[in-house]
Amino acid sequence: MTSNFSCVISFKLGIRGREPKRIKKKVKIYAFVGHSKSGKTGLIRQLLPELKKRGHAVAVIKHCGHGMDFDLESKDSWQFIDSGAEGVAMISSDQLAIVQRKREVDSTSVAAQYFRDVDIILVEGGRRESNLKKIEVLRRGGVEKVECRPEELIAVVSDRKVAVDKPVFHPDQIGKIADFLERGFEEKEDRVGLDIDGVSIPLNAFVQRIFENFVWGMATSLEGVKKNFRSLTLTVKRRDKKDEKY
């Protein structure tokens, strides 16, 4: 039985490669980072209706640095967790909620598992996830200095002037911020793209070079492969260990 995981690696050598037909869309993921009270939640709440009005399906992933409190201790669902269940799903006529015990997980894995059918994912938090492109939110009177690594930062939202070589938006410029999210953060087309279960995973230039050099070298060593091919698509489907045969 095949597990719920598939990976497509596309290498574009000089010209735009053809996207595999089975991937319907590439999900854009943006992390809004900033200190507490910087305005991240309010900004995301304003962007949601604006993006929805433009026809986008949007999901939100929130990092809870101080833990989560659903006030469920008196509910049956919490009692299942307290009794040892690894997870509990709550289903109503129009909502689905899933509570799982803590495990190693990041924003991209959550996106790949639960939000493959949306267009844009807004992450609140996620500063430590180096694979996420980040929009830093600053507020006058709080932390007013950009702290993101330059290679991860794609924009700043601030109510004061900020000296940075990235786009800077005022918190009231919801329309312009939405325009920026729609365009995407790629200034130029990546030569190597990684999609996991339909979700586009950002790769920095160093990782792209490693993938390209390794797989290109492997492919050109195969019999019948032209040395001057322009694009390559590698599909990996992971299977459960019990089903693997060597």
Q: Which positions ≥6 away from 233 have C-beta within 8 Å?
A: 8, 9, 10, 11, 17, 18, 20
Q: Residue 245, class by beta-carbon neighbours within 10 Å (0-12 exposed, 13-18 middle, 19+ buried)? A: exposed
DSSP state of 244: -
Question: Tokens representing 220?
Answer: 């050109």
Reported in sequence order, the residue ranges of 43-109 that DSSP labels E, i.e. its strands, are 58-62, 87-91, 96-100
- Spell out the residues 6+ positions from residue 114 whose beta carbon is closer than 8 angstroms to its own: 59, 98
Least Cα distance to 47 among 37, 36, 58 occurs for 58
Rounded-to-integer distance, Cα 127 and Cα 181, Å:
18
Among the listed residues 186, 181, 185, the one whose alpha carbon sits nearest the alpha carbon of residue 50: 181
Cα 67 to Cα 60: distance, rounded to the nearest angstrom: 17
On whether the pTM is more than 0.75, the answer is no
> pLDDT (tens digit, 0 to 9) for every residue of the chain, 246 residues total?
444 444 554 554 433 333 333 334 578 899 999 888 888 999 999 999 999 999 999 999 988 765 665 555 556 767 787 788 888 888 888 888 887 776 677 888 888 778 888 999 999 988 888 888 999 999 887 777 899 898 899 999 998 888 899 999 999 999 999 999 998 754 445 678 787 777 777 777 778 888 888 888 888 888 888 777 777 787 887 776 655 555
Map out the domains of the chain with their CATH numbers. Answer: 2-65+75-243 (3.40.50.300)
Residues 112, 118, 120, 126, CA torsion sign: negative
Using alpha carbons, select from 66, 96, 101 the residue that is nearest to residue 81: 101
Residue type, 160: R
